[in-house]
Amino acid sequence: MRGSRLGHGAFFGDYRERRHAGDLALAELRPTVPEHDVHTHTHEDAHFLLLLDGAYLSTARGMPEVCTTRALVLNPPGTTHRDCFRGLDGRFFTLSIPTAAWRTATEHRTLTQEALRLHASALVLATRLWHELRHWDGASPLAIQGGLELLLDAAAQPRASEHDGPPWLERAREQLHDEWRRTPDLAELANTAGVHPVYLARAFRRRYGCSPGEYLRRCRMERAISLLHDRRIALAEIAATCGFVDQSHFTHAFRRQHRCTPAQYRALG
């Protein structure tokens, strides 16, 4: 297995579901190779990997050393790694994109050249594609192809969490990210950054593609999505924890952004 090259739609695991939508390959798998037997290998084609269950070890940027929560990774063509499961109790969904299709996608978008964990909004899109695999019908290939375009668009969006802005702007962004439960005013953020509020607002939008208020909403929504995977937490509690006025406000915001309700998304998993 050392130095293996994996072709289109090929992974180390037991294929529980497997379908094709045109030249796209979809699968739900369980790990079958122990961690110590997984060596460095290369994936010839691009693929999304959605971690459903288990403890996953990945070198993708943004992933923890061991990930035990729902997560989505995009691996571009030629990714070389030894990502694997710790133990054989796990599940994962994959959507493989042939190199020619990836090249076409990059003609219209700027996509990553390195393995990368995607944000929670993309996680919702990928979960819907996994659900399509599990409930396949005659319209599923079209749904998959359209869903992939949305997923690629989400993957190409500027990531406001990248730590390569100027230090003063990063200080303001980090305050919003770390203190997402409360709402500072623009003057407070500007004081944190050490610049004028108007200058901060303009620089923030140029760098991160959104206003400070929009970024704060994204932080709260990302936190809410992560909490939805714990079915022990009531929707009303998630809404209160994540700064929404009430459950109705949370449901409306979630539906507007993700085209389904929090309850519907939770039911997919």
Average pLDDT of 236-247? 93
Question: Residue 84 has what pLDDT?
Answer: 96
Question: Residue 160 has what pLDDT?
Answer: 47
Contact 193, 171 (CB under 8 A): yes
CB proximity list for 225: less than 8 A, separation 6 or greater = 120, 121, 123, 124, 265
**pLDDT tops 50 at residue 152:** yes
What are phi and psi for residue 85, nearest 5 degrees?
-95, 145
**pLDDT tops 60 at residue 163:** no
Question: Residue 268 has what pLDDT?
Answer: 87
Question: Residue 90 has what pLDDT?
Answer: 96
Average pLDDT of 20-43? 96
pLDDT in tens, 99-139: 999 999 999 899 999 999 999 889 999 999 999 999 999 99
Contact 204, 173 (CB under 8 A): yes
Segment 182-191 long-range contacts (CB within 8 Å, at least 24 positions apart) = 183/216, 183/243, 186/212
Contact 29, 134 (CB under 8 A): no
Closest CA to 46 of 155, 160, 161, 157: 155
Question: Residue 209 has what pLDDT?
Answer: 86
Average pLDDT, the chain: 92
Instruction: Tell me the two tokens of residue 212.
Output: 């400070």
Percentage of the chain with pLDDT > 90? Answer: 84
Average pLDDT of 93-103? 96
The position carrying tokens 């390195």 is 114
Confidence of residue 157 (pLDDT cuts 50, 70, 90): low
**Can you tell me the distance from the alpha carbon of 61 to that of 54, in angstroms, rounded to the nearest whole number?**
19
Category of 230 on φ-ψ map: left (φ > 0), alpha (ψ -120 to 50) or beta: beta
**Among the ranges given (82-86, 156-160, 164-168), the one the predictor scored with the smallest mean pLDDT:** 156-160
